[in-house]
Structures are given as structure tokens and as C-alpha cells.
Amino acid sequence: MFGKLLNHHVKNQEITVEFEKKQSKIHIITDEIWNVFASFDSEEEPSSAIEGNKQRDTEFTVVKKDEYLQIATKSVIAKVYDDFKIDFYNAEGKLVCEDYRGERVVRKGVSEEFIQMALLEGHQVEQKKEHYKIEVLKKMQGDEAFYGLGDKTGFLNKRGYEYEMWNSDIPDPQVDSFKALYKSIPFYIALRKECVYGLFYDNTYRSYFDMGKESDEYYLFGAEQGNLNYYYIAGDSIKTIIKNYTYLTGRTYVPQIWTLGYQQSRWGYESENQVREIATNLRKYDLPCDVIHLDIDYMERFKVFTWNKEHYEDPKKLIKDLKEDGFKIVTIIDPGVKVEEGYSVYEEGVKNGYFATDKDGDIYVNSVWPGKSVFPDFGNEEARTWWGNNHSFLLEQGVRGIWNDMNEPASFEGQLPDDVVFSDGVKKANHAKVHNIYGHMMAKATYEGLKRLDGRRPYVITRACYAGSQKYSTAWTGDNHSIWAHLKMAVPQLCNLGLSGMAFVGTDIGGFGSDATKELLCRWVQVGCFSPLFRNHAAKGTRFQEPWQFDEETLDINRKYIKLRYLLLPYFYDLFYQSEREGLPIVRPLIMHYEKDEVAKNMNEEFLVGENVLVAPVLDQGQTCKMVYLPDGTWYDYWTKELVEGGRYILRDAPLDVCPIYVKAGAILPNYTEQSYVGEKEQDTLILDVYPGEGSYTHYQDNGEDFAYQAGEVNEFHIKVNKDNTCTINLVQEGYDAIYKTVRVNCLDHVVEFKVNDMEQVNGGRVIKVTL
């Protein structure tokens, strides 16, 4: 395809490589992030995932050898050969990632006659394409495990599976064979015994990833359209790879703290009276809750930016009344705008050219919930601003968050044709190119609108994503079902989303489709309690699954874990501070911190929250004893405080009300006092659960709502557990006025409490040491 290597040119940190048939570029973004580019459809153009200039001044060398061109920074060495084959090495010269030199071998297909026979019986027969227009084969070294790729089905380790990047609304129960879901995040981490690297294929067209299913000799990614445009990401650990990837594509901001509380939802709460009843029962049954979601039934005939005044007579009063009891309202917004004369959103969009058109320039019409609908062109900056400003209608009523749905984009009269005309952020582009970034652009429009209109940290939820969506939105995994297989899939799904940069994620607790059983709901809330997005949501026509809809035991168990979440809110909040600074996820697979552990490599049924809290939920019906794997180290049972040595499996009794939780020695967990919602009472005591050992922790305190923390209005505590069985607490920054009055340290067998004002002034900060 490229031919013989001929020459090269260097300009700034970009090396243009000339071949017989084609030229390519290697752009050194940073010491550890390299862009590999060759034009197939167009010249190099701005990325939807990467915003701003990410290039850092980096020292590098370029040397022409007999058979290859060698490019090197202090951390990465690349050797470029004929036909644009590239091998990447680390600084010590160890081969890390190698292009495959052999021929691709595709499984032989079947005859057209057989396909037609199979269709008669209802079978779909896949005919795999022999080659893609753009195709990269990487040699399999033999010990690779693959992680990331967004919210794909299946297990944690993607080795041996194949996937497509094409945002898809599939309401059927998703199983391992599904190749695409709602999000397209073409980034993966390859872990080998002695090294690790990441690769981000920034091509928004439909793309394909075969992670060793086709052959044990290679894995591949490719596309029919777009360009060869991937980023090789180096690092010495999975954590470093994630930091580098999120440096490139953006990081999740610290959310408003109430968004980390429990959220109750259903499609649909059809009237004001029903919403008030839900709120009353949440408080009546002592279930802490901060958010009630309103699905499409709140709108007038499903028209966005309207209110159904027949069933919601006075939405402003409703929201005001609920606010007085601590509830915030989040409303759904779909992209489809109803075609209707006199409807201002439609007419403004038509007048200003804000809707997608067909290839002849006429506004494209399909059907969604409102009936005949048109689709905003979110790649058009003016259209994004207009869309964002429309949210003032909801904010003026008191709405606190926006939930973007159906933004793959989904449609009822077949998928939008590839030639529907949108914008890609720079110029006109067809649907084939824009499809995978449509939800991303909608989330961006919503985020920017809320930030501009409200000033607080926007709360945006999205179903469809692309790489970089973490800058604008939280996300949920879409229309799952109330089945045990989907509870079990939730763990690797959330872990891989986190490894893919999406820190603020969750599943519909209890399942969206089908009917939840009480046992399933109890086990799901134990997973949801530790998921960043903590929302119970179910579909119209299914069994109501609010916790009080079952028996007393179910209610008690849900209450127990919802209250546990509120106890640990400051811990989750601190993790988001870390995520904004370093890009690390909240929910993490064990392999992220135990890369040499062969058991952790394929651990699908446990996860870490941060680095030091291990959750081993029961994921099978009827199971009341859990085989828990504890990695190396010393661990404490969260419930019993029993000390357990790791590096082995243990059996833990797990009746329905017990989710096995283990805390690593040396850990510090900040707690809040009990509350029914965030802000119900002043949290003037910093409560620290301290586990003897050695460890350190940073805790943050701010106003929990706006962006003042980014200007330094934050209190920062550095806490250290020492091997002499003492704990040092150091207040290193005092930028927020409402500082804690008291610190309470919960040791295993006693409590130490002191006033913040009694801490000793040392080097501009305050410090105290307590004995555990």
C-alpha cells in the first residue's frame, strides 16, 4: 500500500515519511504519546475527541538506518520500515508493539444460496470482509490481555473477541456476541508480562477491532472510510497509560456532590401526583435520595423543551416543593425535534438552518417519540449554542440536570442514511462520519449551555459517547434488562468504561427491561452502591422496582446500601478530585493495581473503588457464599474488621444482606454523618475510618457546586498512616471558608476526636498526630 521507504522531513515535532506510493506522518505529541497518520479520505483535520493543542516540547532524534528510519524520545523508540510498518520499543530497547508482516487470513464464507436458506429459518449469517480499506495488523506476542474499548459486552479481558465501533440502540437483551452498543470509544490497553501500552484509533467512521479472534498471530483494527490516524500511548503501568490517554482526550471534572447520591427513576412517572408520591415514599421509608428523574412523559406530546401541562399543572411549584425536601429534578431530552408548525424549537431550527439535511439540501425527516422529527446538527457551533440556550426553559423551572437519550442517533424508520448531511465541527460531513460523535456533540452542547446559563458544574447524562465524552458528561450503559446475566456483565462493563476514560458511569440498577425479582434488586443495589452513577431505573410496562414495591427484607437491604453510599460520599468525591487531576477511574479492575497478578488479569466478578476498597458482590441467583480473591497485601473485612492476608482465595458467607467488602491495611476512608440528602445538615465533622498499616490519602473540602475549587477555594488534608501505629493529619491548604470544626478518627477499637482549631500550626499549615 505504501511501498518502499524513500525519504523523510522533519518540522517541529512532526516527521513526514515519504514512500514510493504514499506519504505518512508521525507526530510526537509528548514523550509518550505519538500520532501515526496517513491520509486516505482527507487531509489531517481536527479531532472531535482531542481539543486544544496537546503538544509538549519534546526532545527527539531521527536517524536513517539501512533498513528503517529510527525516531526516538527518552521513553519511546520507533522503527519505521517499508510499507509503513512500525515497531515500538521502550527506552531500554525492549520490543513493545510490533506491526504484523504476514498476510491476513479470513475465515472462509458460505455461499449466497446457504445464506438465503438460513434467512428463511430466521438465522443471520455473517460474511466477514476480507480486507478493510484502512487496516492495521499488530503482531500478537502471545501474552497480551486487552482492556478498554468502552462499554462492550462480554468479559473484562477482550482477548479473543471482535467488536465494531458504531453507536447502536439495541433494546434486545445484550449478550457476549453483540459487537456494538451505545458508545464508540476506540481505545484499548494492551498488557503484557513485561510491558503495557495503549492505542487510540481516532476515526469516527464505523471501525472494526479484532482482538485475536481471527488469528492467534495478530490482532487488528480498521475501517472502510476515514484515515489511518492512531495514537500510540506509552507508559510504565496501566495507570500511566490512562493518565496519558485522558491528558489527550480530556478528564472528568469534579461533579456537584449531590449527583453522587441515590437517584430514583422510571419510564415513566406520568404525572405530578405520581412524582410527589415517589418523593413522599422515599422519605417515608427512610431511603436517602437526592434526585428524581423525569422521562419523556413530562413533555407535551414528547416535544423537547416543553411541559405536559395536563399532567404537570405547575412544574415550577412542583420542583420548588420537592427542593424543600431535598430533591433535585433531572429531565430527559432527546435530539429528535417534532415537525410542527407553530412549535418554536422547530421553527427556529428551520429558520437558522440548524437541522440535518438530505443530500439535496432538504431537511431530513425520520420518526422518533414525537412522530415525524428532525435532527439538530450538533457539529455546527451555532446550532450547539442555540440548543444549549434552549435549556433555559427547564432551568427556569428549577431543573438541575439534563439526561440525553436516543442520541446515537436512534430513529424509528430505519437508521439514518449514510449520506444525510451534518457538520463534523469544522465543515459539512455525512452521517457515516458523524454518527459516532453525534451523542458526544449533543453532550457538549448541553454541557456548555448549562455552564453558560447556570454557572454551577453541569450535570449531564448521556447514552451515546465517543472518546473524550468524559469532559462533558456522565453516562449509563443503556437499556439493560432485569436478568442476572446483565448484573454479572455490569462489573466488567463499568471497569472497561473507566479504563476508557469514562470515570462517571453506572448501570440501571435492577435492570431497565424485563421484571426485577427482589433478590436481583438486592444484589444489584450492592453493585450500584459503589458505581459512580447510582440510579434505579426501569421501563414502562415492567414491574415497579422502587425498593418499597417488594417486601420488608428488600426494603431493609436497599436502605442499608443506600445509606452506606451516603456514608462514603466524601470518599467518592475525593476520587473525582483524583480523576480530574490524573484521569483515573472511580471503579477499577483489580488488574489496574496488580498488573503481575495472573488471577487479576481475568477477574470479572470483583472490582476496586479507588485503590484500597475491594468489592466482591454476589452476582448469581441463590448464592449465599462468595469465593473472594484478595490480591497480595493485608486486608480488613469491612463489616467484621477481621484481618485477612491476601494473595489467595477465601470463602465469605454472603447472605442476601451482605456484599463482601475488604479494605486494604493503611487505608483511610472519610465518612459523612447520616443524612437523607446532600445538604440536609451541615457536615462539620471530618470522620476518618483508619485501618492500621502504611498508607496515605488526600481529602478535599469545597462548596460542592460551582467551579470555585478550580480557583483554589478548597481545603486539602493530607493524611498518613504510619507503621508505628500513628496517623498524621496535615491541613496543607485552607481556601474554603466553611472548614470542618472537628476531626474524628475511627480506629479499630477506639475513637480519637479533636478540634481543627487545636491542630498545631507548622510551616503555614496545620498538623496533628494521633495514636491508632
Residues acting as catalytic residues: 405, 408, 479
For 564, how many CA atoms within 13 A lie in the half-sphere containing its CB?
20
Cα–Cα distance for residue pair 490/498, rounded to 1 Å:
12
For residue 757, the Cα-to-chain-centroid distance in whole angstroms is 40
Cβ within 8 Å of residue 195, ≥6 positions away: 90, 94, 96
Contacts of 595 (CB under 8 A, 6+ apart): 191, 196, 237, 238
**Residue holding cell 500510540?**
232
- Identify the CA nearest to 593 among candidates 723, 697, 474, 495: 495
Question: Nearest Cα to 479, choosing from 520, 504, 510, 502?
Answer: 510
CA nearest neighbour of 521 among 505, 532, 507, 533: 507
Of 21, 8, 29, 133, the C-alpha closest to 79 is: 8
Nearest CA among 703, 758, 709, 705 for reference residue 731: 758
Distance in angstroms (rounded) separating the CA atoms of residues 429 and 418 = 10
Three-class SS state of 689: strand
Query: Which phi and psi (to 5°) does residue 80 adopt?
Result: -105, 125
Cβ neighbourhood burial of 420 (10 Å; 0-12, 13-18, 19+) = buried
Residue of 503, 494, 499 lying closest to 469 (CA atoms): 503
Cell of 346: 422547530
Residue 679, all three cell numbers: 445538604
**Separation of alpha carbons 112 and 538, rounded Å:** 42
**What would the grid cell of residue 687 be?**
470522620
The rounded distance, in Å, linking the Cα atoms of 95 and 87 is 7
Distance CA 343, CA 358 (A): 22
Please report which helix (H) or strand (E) contains residue 762, including its range: strand 760-762
Grid coordinates given for 768: 496533628
Q: Are 37 and 50 in contact (CB under 8 A)?
A: no
Q: Do the beta carbons of residue 390 and residue 445 sit within 8 Å?
A: no
| 27 CB-contact burial (10 Å; exposed 0-12 / middle 13-18 / buried 19+) | middle
Q: How many helices (H) and strands (E) in the chain?
A: 14, 50
| The amino acid at 754 | F
C-alpha span between 236 and 569 (Å, rounded): 31
Burial 726-757 (b: 16+ CB within 10 A, else e): ebebbbebeebeebbeebbbbbeeeebeeebe
Count of Cβ atoms closer than 10 Å to residue 621 Cβ: 12
Helices (H), 325-401: 344-352, 381-390, 392-395
Q: What whole-number distance in Å separates Cα of residue 206 and Cα of residue 437?
A: 11
Question: Rounded to an integer, what distance in angstroms lies between the CA atom of residue 700 and that of residue 577?
Answer: 8
Cα-Cα end-to-end distance for the chain: 67
**Cis status of the peptide bond prior to 704, with omega within 30 of 0:** no
Residue 509 bridge partners (DSSP): 536
Q: Residue 507 corresponds to which cell in the numbers above?
A: 448501570
CA dist., res. 131 & res. 214, Å (int): 12
